[in-house]
Structure 1
Amino acid sequence: MSKSRFTNIVCESFNKTFGEFKTCRLNVLGRGVIGVQLHLKLFIVPIHTVSSNLGVMRRYNGFRPFMYNTTIDFCKFAKQSKKMSLEKLVFDAIATRSNLNHTCPYTHDIIVDNLVFHDRFLQTLPLPQGEYKIQMLFGSENIWRVQVDIFILREE
């Protein structure tokens, strides 16, 4: 039986006039249970266009690209995400504990409240044990605005 958990989170806003992270941390919720707590305060709303880049990296003498890196129109994806994909797995997991569970426009701050990594998120995408970084870039109006890097340790 494999066990995975969050080990770190790093959030960066590239433009402080667009938005700023008020909270970006991991919380210990119980023995071996780690949750992501994130609050992005948005200063320019409503947001009608959102681009998202999702990349997975694995640690081999530093983090190297591993298997996946794609950019999507997040607003279109939120409306029509029927097919199974890594983006759908990641964003369905985030939607369970956030206010990102609707389509554009976004007129409010972005909040993720104690998202816990469950191995069932990866049932259709088994990963070998190791250290991983999931890098998520979000932008609007064709400008990258924020980056969130989540680090995961996968053990057997």
Structure 2
Amino acid sequence: MRIQLLKRASGYKPFLYDVRHSDTCEYLEKRNHPFVNIVFNSFLNHSNINKCPLPAEFSVEHFRFPVKALEMLPLPGGEYAIYATFSIDNRDRVIVKVFFTLTESR
């Protein structure tokens, strides 16, 4: 599993977070990373990737990222993306890309 925060500046570039967990089930058991928690909590009601054993088929449906969840992070205004990649047997199986814009007056 890999969760990245990117900021747009001549394309999307890594910004603040690039978190890799070798075992998604281990993360789901401990939930010990604040940024990953924000991303996972936003998926909970729209995905079947929330407990182990992981399903054979992943799904994310009717998802709209709650940008307000990022208010506690020190993010300046700008265009951002969050990429969430889930791999099994060293092969990417699911890639979710979320794009959003933050304004200074949040």
- TM-score calculated relative to the size of structure 2: 0.81
Unaligned runs of 5+ in 2: none
- Largest Rg, 1 or 2: 1
> Hey, what does 1:136 align to over in structure 2?
84
Query: Aligned partners of 1:147, 1:118: CA distance in 2, in Å?
Result: 18
Does residue 68 of structure 1 match 2:41? no
TM value normalised by structure 1: 0.58
Q: Corresponding residue for 1:112?
A: 60
Change (3 A) 1:84 1:68: closer
> Greater RCO between the two (CA within 8 Å, min separation 6)?
1
Q: Which has the higher helix share?
A: 2
SS at match of 1:112: coil
Count of paired positions: 103
Q: Which has the higher strand share?
A: 1
Unaligned runs of 5+ in 1: 1-51
Distance 1:114 1:126, change over 3 A: farther
Please give the residue correspondences for 1:4-153 in structure 2 after superposition, counting only pairs within 5 Å.
52-72=1-21, 73-81=23-31, 83-107=32-56, 109-153=57-101
Between the aligned residues of both structures, percent identity stands at 28
